[in-house]
Chains A and B, each alone.
Chain A
């Protein structure tokens, strides 16, 4: 079936829905493709808050927020993006409130705010109350509110459609999309004047992750496969310090914002040694590394000394029940641990891709280090790299990113759609997608997609997670080569058309492998430690050689080419990063 929309949005999480709402507000006819029902999107799993210098609890300024974001990103953050963000996120939060978002309130009726990692007052002096929140389900409330507004507006949704290809014309303008309808197995074409990619991250690369099963970097891979579109800063992948032991389910940093403390087996508040000023509220990359080191040096908790304790037992039970009800329930349900009585066992969990599809401040996708725009193609949210988060994202800044840059991308896409006409899709637009499906259904090599994915996730965790070395990354390059070979023989059981999750998971596995390739090669290439990219063999940050963004292109499977993009520095010169 063929469809046509002025603006086509891929993904219905916070960024996609915001882009859709603003494009529709500008008069565009908008269609949204989601591989889920929109309210299932992973924005809904975000817990702790959305940071904005509202100053409702104490003095705060957007400049402080900008500074924290830049410093948190270990100075790889593009400072023009951080400035736009820190200014605009204030209005964005107010606007979410006007849309009906049920924020928690202060006694004076204003939006309540809590402390969060890396967010400080007076340029790093002390933690500041900046995260506007709705209990510990802020992301859920943002997703619900944006979906409510989309329903009100009558935006067209294509639920449970899997995007398999993005179509470009000869001049390199994005003109359409091919997607598989999960319910029927039918391939649909979508012709669009402008396309916004907001399809989220790829945490399922790793064994222990906070990410949904569906987060497999689909559109990043689709573009990367084209060969002429790069991915930016893929080596920077965030591990959130507090995932539930073994499961990786997120426990919000808000738990530490409300006073929770990380302790090792000796009961020591070890973050005092790593970040003497803001301790447990240091940025995530630092806390995750500290936890790894504590465990590595034999001070992990439990019989196998392989986790850290998140201690909330000293908090007023009312704070836990009222402000952190969901994480208390997760701990009780999945670990049988009541956080009122005993500490929660936690480990770092794969959480967020700082890198992704490179864009301008208006979400336009760019294809090289000079910032050459690809006409008709926009991206926002975790799928994109603007680069607001630099080498390490601060907590709460993902939710702000969704609404600030989702809005910018939606508006820019609507402007582009107004100024341009539809371009005819090639006669066999669905050809490559059909070949992909028929290839997978026809394969008889006997390789199980589940087994390949398990090996991928386990080896990525071992060789390319919190700490990295040349040796481990080189080893992982070899492992990936082997996994790509096995993938050629991947065989699925379900040959049917309806709700063929077997097929979809095999396709997603292919996307994951591409993301892994981009990540591992970029990590091997960057010979320094910065933010979330910690090289034991190059432990120092090297501004002289590496204060630049990586752009990785696929030349051929297993073979990549690098280009670089300068970091935009406006207000804050790079300094050593201490907390």
Chain B
């Protein structure tokens, strides 16, 4: 089948502002959008810039806005879009560096702010710390996060408020707060309970819909809110 791929291009070395460019491509229904981007890059215009690595939805490199929705280019098939006109633009709310490449630093700054590591100063036992399957299940969803930023950059609050941590960082915090081995909830509170923290969330559910790992992001944010309200942290 023939498809039209429209890409929002921007090269600060020569463009004053972003502009759309269209490419007519031969595609298979089972092709990934990433395959189409490669077709452009390798056969039509070598200057196109985008990130990619694993190509199957595990590394989190290629989040972009495809037909108006944040998704991974490597996990979105042509057939799933239900149209032969495909638009691709960079994820929103982060500075565009070139074409589909954005500056990820603000995203990782929010990640670091929630102290995304196990906090437990007790000397560990000789063998593993014990944890029941039920305790392990409580924080399972958050462990799936691949830090692709699809959720955070779909969030209307994040777009307009530069201090909001964003959904992804809160998912990371949830993963530790609800881990029975972690003792650091109070250390994370300053970031999560501040004006840039969880209370900025307006439950728009964009993040949940954007997550390529099907993490119930909004629900996890609500659980962190409850944990703060009921003094669990």
Contacts and interface: CB of A to CB of B under 8 A. Distances in A.
Interface of A: 36-37, 39-42, 44-45, 94, 97-100, 102-111, 134, 137, 140-141, 144, 148-149, 151-152, 183, 212-214, 247, 249, 326, 330, 333-336, 448, 450, 492-494, 496-502
Interface stretch (B53-61, B150-158, B159-167, B195-203): B53-61
A207 B229 CA distance: 54
Given A40-B60, A44-B58, A100-B117, A496 B132 contact: no
B97 A183 contact: yes
Contacts of B112: 151
Nearest to A247: B56
Interface residues of chain B: helix, strand, loop or mixed (majority): loop
Contacts of B50: 501
A100 B49 contact: no
Interface of B: 11-14, 30, 32, 41-43, 45-50, 52-61, 75, 77, 97-99, 101, 104, 108, 111-112, 115-118, 120, 124, 126-133, 135-136, 139-140, 143-144, 146-147, 175-176, 179, 181-182
A40 B56 contact: no
A335 B30 CA distance: 8
Contacts of A100: 117-118, 120, 176, 179, 181-182
Closest 10 CB pairs of A and B: A100-B118, A109-B130, A493-B46, A450-B42, A148-B117, A502-B46, A40-B59, A494-B47, A97-B128, A98-B124
A104 B128 CA distance: 12
Nearest to A336: B30
A493 B42 CA distance: 10
A111 B219 CA distance: 28
Nearest to B128: A97
Contacts, number: 146
B133 A107 contact: yes
A455 B41 CA distance: 17
B41 A140 contact: no
Contacts of B133: 104-107
Contact of B144 (A137, A148, A151, A501): A137
Contacts of B146: 39, 44, 140
Most chain B Cβ neighbours within 10 Å, of A41, A134, A213, A450? A213
A40 B128 contact: no
Most chain B Cβ neighbours within 10 Å, of A108, A333, A492? A333
A210 B11 CA distance: 32
Nearest to A148: B117
Contacts of A497: 13
Nearest to A209: B55
Contact of A499 (B45, B101, B126, B139): B101
B97 A212 contact: no
Contact of B47 (A140, A144, A213, A502): A502
Nearest to A153: B117
A107 B54 contact: no
8 contacts: A39-B147, A42-B53, A42-B54, A44-B59, A97-B128, A98-B129, A105-B136, A247-B56
Given A98-B129, A100-B118, 12 more contacts: A42-B54, A45-B58, A100-B120, A102-B140, A102-B179, A105-B133, A110-B130, A151-B116, A336-B30, A448-B42, A501-B48, A502-B41
Most chain A Cβ neighbours within 10 Å, of B32, B43, B57, B58? B58
A97 B128 CA distance: 6
